[in-house]
Amino acid sequence: MVELGAAMHAESAFAPLDYSREKCRSMGHRYIQNPDVNFGAVAELDGQTVGMLMGYVTDYYFGNDKIACDILWYIDPKHRGSRAAIKFLRAFQHWAKQQGAAEVCIGISTAVEFERTGMLLERLGYTHVGGNYKLSVVG
């Protein structure tokens, strides 16, 4: 997962930023240890990890309802178009419902195939709400 995360990082809008394998490995361990609030799933093919989705559930800041949000959802470019992305979403949605979430929120902050990803999410019933705006303050 850490190496697939490095590939995602290199392909994404985050590429100019630091990627710490140790920090990602540590985060993976925290997720495994807290399955009531953290979700993690991988897709493997011939012993290779080719996709993953990680997310969490938390209360909305303004009330007591819960929201489930992804922190990463990535499929290796050679395996995009497979059913893995849809299977990940359905598993995450099922987990979110079990955790009492009122909504599932999936972001596309990496800028990787965001139009194609958005179309998939809309076909699956998601509604496009808002957007992300970034400003680099380094240098």
The domain 2-123 is placed in CATH, from the list 3.30.420.40, 3.40.630.30, 2.40.260.10, 2.40.110.10, at 3.40.630.30
What does each C-alpha distance from 2 to 35, 49, 105, 118 come to in angstroms?
19, 10, 23, 25
| pLDDT of 105 strictly over 90 | yes
Question: What is the share, in percent, of the chain residues with pLDDT greater than 90?
Answer: 67
* pLDDT for res 83: 87
Q: What is the mean pLDDT of residues 117-125?
A: 92
Domain map of the chain by residue range?
A: 2-123
Measured distance CA(75)–CA(25) in Å, rounded: 18
Strand 48-59 versus strand 66-75 pairing type: antiparallel
Say which residue the tokens 């998601």 belong to. Answer: 126
pLDDT digits (tens, 9 = 90+) for 6-64: 999 999 999 999 999 999 999 989 988 999 999 999 998 888 888 999 999 999 999 99
Let me know: does 51 contact 76? Beta carbons within 8 Å.
yes
Measured distance CA(66)–CA(72) in Å, rounded: 19
Sign of CA dihedral 108, 112, 115, 119: negative
pLDDT digits (tens, 9 = 90+) for 50-68: 899 999 999 999 999 999 9
pTM of this prediction exceeds 0.75 = yes
Measured distance CA(122)–CA(66) in Å, rounded: 22
